[in-house]
Amino acid sequence: MGHMNVMWYVGKFDEATWHLLAAVGTTPAYMRDNNRAMVAVEQRIAYKRELVAGDMVTIRSGVLELKEKVIRFFHEMINEETNEIAAVTVLTGVHLDSQARKAVPFPAEILQRGREMVVEYYPGI
């Protein structure tokens, strides 16, 4: 089995992003019903250990900060066999009105839920 290409790391992190956003309350139904969207405005990735195709991985995620219109969060990709961190990413997302295409505040309930999920973590990137 060969080296896992960068696009697979990003793809797995993208899937984890949608799970994290849903946990905060920005589900697909919420976005569809309220004409809202999330857009990434910054993403940093640090590749720590090589993965090969077929390696089993787990993604651990957490909210670093939630402001009125912006969320900053991280994902760690863990090699299940070695329990080592294979990669870390930190992303910044903005909450948009999908029709006006401009940043809008998160609803109070999403802000509250997201702030309850904030963790102390320094990913080093």
Does 123 fall in a domain?
Answer: no
CATH number, domain with residue 102: 3.10.129.10
Q: Summarize pLDDT for 38-50 with one digit per residue, the tens.
A: 999 999 999 999 9
Q: Which residue has the tokens 């997302």?
A: 93
Percent of the chain with pLDDT over 70: 99
Domain residues for the domain of 108 are 6-116
Burial of residue 98 (number of CB atoms within 10 Å: 0-12, 13-18, 19+): middle
Amino acid symbol at 1: M
Q: Can you give the pLDDT at residue 53?
A: 87
Q: Are 60 and 84 in contact (CB under 8 A)?
A: no
What is the rounded distance in angstroms from the CA atom of residue 14 to the CA atom of residue 9? 9
Does 79 fall in a domain?
Answer: yes
Average pLDDT, the chain: 95
Q: Summarize pLDDT for 84-123 with one digit per residue, the tens.
A: 999 999 999 999 999 999 999 999 999 999 999 999 988 8
DSSP conformation class of 124: -
The token pair that represents 73 in the structure block: 């969060």
pTM above the 0.85 mark?
Answer: yes
DSSP conformation class of 56: -
How many domains is the chain built from?
A: 1
Q: Which residue has the tokens 């802000």?
A: 111
9 C-beta neighbours (distance < 10 Å), count? 19
Whether 3 shows a pLDDT value over 80: the answer reads: no
